[in-house]
């Protein structure tokens, strides 16, 4: 569903490009169980020509050279049929801080879509704080040795490489690229509430040997935080996209239902609810692209805005999808129609890359400081 005029920053041509490929993917691959690695590689192969895998990496570094708002638009279009496909961050992390060997040996497969990357930050004691990870990397056997456990890793069961946040022997925060086929890596799947087309899981590292060239040249927590700004605006546009799909599907469905001699879609109450939800989603989309533009231009408020936009978009999307589910009544409760899946997927997005509470506190603290005149 398109509302005109388009919101500033959003590029509807990129949205349409993403939507076209993702709609084909959705038709080709059933999503009742998570896609296998082979299926995902086929899917990423189809997405490669759109620039999805090379995202905002400059063309001279073999990336797609998209601006962040173009990439957000592309991701939004893809999410309308296939939300939260991920597998684009590790490429940017390696480009920013990877060693020459990492750029030669790991990056090409990720950019080509012949391998899958994962980001492993969350630990069993909680993912809201990334300070002082319990996962450690220490010198040993001519290289490094990684020990610890990460939870809730997207693509846990299908990824080839993970960027793992850990503490080194001096307690400094670092990130290392880990070959997930290495001895000592143990993966366990999670059964999730939504996003059923993807795998999520725990990855345990039992004294896994890691070559030194796999260490990223950065402060690990700073690298992870820098990635959050981009990740959060991308989640924001995706949450709104799937809620718009739920709105469009519900509106279409209600044109087929009658109550008191009228089409339910024509009742004033329905028009009122549809208009209200569309206005809330449009507001959330405006904020999401406003934040994307701020991140793209390096505005000092960008990180806080990205958090605020992500929290707002996900809260709005979950609320909208929940209301739409009830408006669909029996149709919504039939899992075969996919209406309930929109709400389940939106709820998953609300916790990915930081809970609503964590992100709205980051945003609220920024606003409060600004209003109190301390910045
Ligand atoms: C779809 C999805 C994909 C994900 N993908 C990845 C991934 O690829 N890699 C990865 O590492 N992780 C991933 N995660 C994990 C995600 O980042 C964490 O779930 C999230 O950061 C929250 O951590 P937690 O679930 O451990 O909650 P906890 O940190 O255990 O939080 C528990 C509760 O405490 C609340 N809380 C936190 N801080 C405060 C505070 N200051 N005051 C009051 N309450 C507070 C939280 O809001 C929450 O309600 C993913 C999660 C989901 C749902």
Query: What's the CATH class of domain 221-369?
Result: mainly alpha
Summarize pLDDT for 140-154 with one digit per residue, the tens. Answer: 878 999 999 999 999
Mutate to test the pocket of ligand 1, among 127, 164, 165 (most ligand atoms within 8 A of CB): 127
DSSP output for 234-298: HHHHHHHHHHHHHHHHHHHHHTT-EETTEEGGGSHHHHHHHHHHHHHHHHHHHHHHHHHHHHHHT
The reply to whether ligand 1 has any atom less than 6 angstroms from the CB of 55 is: no
| Alpha carbon of 127 to ligand 1 centroid (Å) | 4
In angstroms, the CA 120 to CA 122 distance is 6
pLDDT at 335: 87
pLDDT at 3: 57
pLDDT at 66: 98
The reply to whether ligand 1 has any atom less than 6 angstroms from the CB of 235 is: no
Domain with CATH 2.40.110.10 in the chain: 117-218
The reply to whether ligand 1 has any atom less than 6 angstroms from the CB of 17 is: no
| Rg of the chain (C-alpha set) | 21
Q: Are 53 and 113 in contact (CB under 8 A)?
A: yes
Q: Give the mean pLDDT of the chain.
A: 95
Atom of ligand 1 nearest to the CA of 194: 1
Summarize pLDDT for 317-362 with one digit per residue, the tens. Answer: 999 999 999 999 999 999 888 899 999 999 999 999 999 999 999 9
Q: Are 205 and 166 in contact (CB under 8 A)?
A: no
pLDDT band at residue 33 using 50, 70 and 90 as cut-offs: confident
CATH code at 12-112:
1.10.540.10
CA dihedral over 174, 94, 300, 225, signed as positive or negative? negative
In angstroms, the CA 285 to CA 280 distance is 9
What phi, psi does 215 have (nearest 5°)? -80, 135
pLDDT above 90: percentage of residues in the chain: 89
pLDDT band at residue 2 using 50, 70 and 90 as cut-offs: low
pLDDT at 137: 97
Q: What's the full length of the chain, in residues? A: 375
Mean pLDDT, to the nearest integer, of 102-114? 98
Domain with CATH 1.10.540.10 in the chain: 12-112
Atom of ligand 1 nearest to the CA of 120: 11
Domain with CATH 1.20.140.10 in the chain: 221-369
The reply to whether ligand 1 has any atom less than 6 angstroms from the CB of 352 is: yes
What is the fold, at CATH topology level, of the domain defined by 117-218?
Butyryl-CoA Dehydrogenase, subunit A; domain 2 (2.40.110)
Q: Find all residues with CB under 8 Å of 122, minimum gap 6, and list them.
A: 150, 151, 152, 153
Q: Please name which of 186, 166, 41, 62 lies closest in space to residue 114, comparing C-alpha atoms.
A: 41
pLDDT band at residue 6 using 50, 70 and 90 as cut-offs: confident
For residue 93, the Cα-to-chain-centroid distance in whole angstroms is 15
Atom of ligand 1 nearest to the CA of 127: 23
Mutate to test the pocket of ligand 1, among 120, 128, 242 (most ligand atoms within 8 A of CB): 128
The reply to whether ligand 1 has any atom less than 6 angstroms from the CB of 23 is: no
- The pLDDT of residue 1 is above 60: no
| Alpha carbon of 19 to ligand 1 centroid (Å) | 29
Q: Is the peptide bond before 5 cis (omega within 30 degrees of 0)?
A: yes
Q: Supply the ipTM of this predicted assembly.
A: 0.98
pLDDT at 140: 87
Q: Are 137 and 146 in contact (CB under 8 A)?
A: yes
Q: Please name which of 201, 285, 272 lies closest in space to residue 8, comparing C-alpha atoms.
A: 285
Furthest CA-CA distance within the chain = 79
For residue 146, the Cα-to-chain-centroid distance in whole angstroms is 26
pLDDT at 4: 63
CA dihedral over 174, 177, 180, 184, signed as positive or negative? negative
In angstroms, the CA 16 to CA 229 distance is 24
> Tokens 């999730």 label which residue?
192
């Amino acid at each position: 569903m398109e509302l005109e005029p388009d919101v500033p920053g959003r590029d509807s041509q990129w949205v349409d490009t993403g939507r076209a490929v993702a709609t084909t993917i959705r038709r080709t691959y059933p999503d009742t169980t998570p896609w296998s690695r082979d299926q995902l590689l086929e899917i990423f192969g189809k997405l490669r020509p759109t620039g999805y895998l090379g995202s905002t990496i400059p063309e001279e570094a073999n990336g797609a050279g998209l601006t962040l708002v173009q990439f957000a638009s592309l991701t939004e279009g893809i999410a309308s049929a296939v939300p939260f496909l991920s597998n684009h961050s590790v490429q940017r992390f390696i480009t920013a801080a990877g060693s020459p060997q990492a750029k030669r040996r790991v990056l090409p497969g990720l950019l080509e879509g012949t391998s899958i990357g994962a980001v492993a930050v969350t630990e069993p004691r909680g993912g809201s704080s990334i300070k002082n990870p319990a996962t450690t990397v220490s010198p040993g056997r001519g290289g490094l040795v990684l020990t610890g456990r990460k939870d809730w890793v997207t693509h846990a069961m299908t990824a080839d490489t993970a960027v793992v946040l850990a503490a080194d022997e001096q307690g400094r925060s670092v990130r290392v690229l880990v070959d997930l086929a290495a001895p000592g890596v143990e993966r366990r799947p999670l059964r999730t509430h939504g996003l059923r087309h993807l795998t999520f899981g725990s990855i345990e590292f039992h004294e896994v040997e890691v070559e030194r060239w796999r260490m990223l040249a950065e402060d690990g927590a700073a690298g992870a935080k820098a990635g959050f700004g981009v990740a959060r605006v991308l989640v924001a546009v995706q949450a709104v996209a799937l809620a718009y799909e739920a709105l469009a599907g519900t509106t279409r469905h209600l044109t087929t239902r009658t109550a008191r001699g009228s089409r339910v879609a024509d009742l004033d109450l329905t028009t009122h609810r549809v208009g209200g939800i569309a206005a809330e989603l449009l507001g959330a989309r405006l904020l999401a692209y406003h934040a994307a533009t701020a991140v793209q231009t390096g505005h000092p408020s960008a990180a806080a805005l990205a958090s605020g936009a992500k929290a707002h978009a996900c809260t709005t999307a979950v609320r909208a999808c929940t209301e739409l589910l009830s408006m669909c009544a029996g149709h919504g409760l039939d899992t075969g129609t996919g209406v309930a899946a929109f709400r389940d997927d939106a709820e998953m997005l609300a916790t990915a890359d930081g809970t609503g509470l964590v992100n709205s506190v980051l945003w609220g603290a920024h606003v409060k400081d600004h209003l109190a005149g301390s910045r």
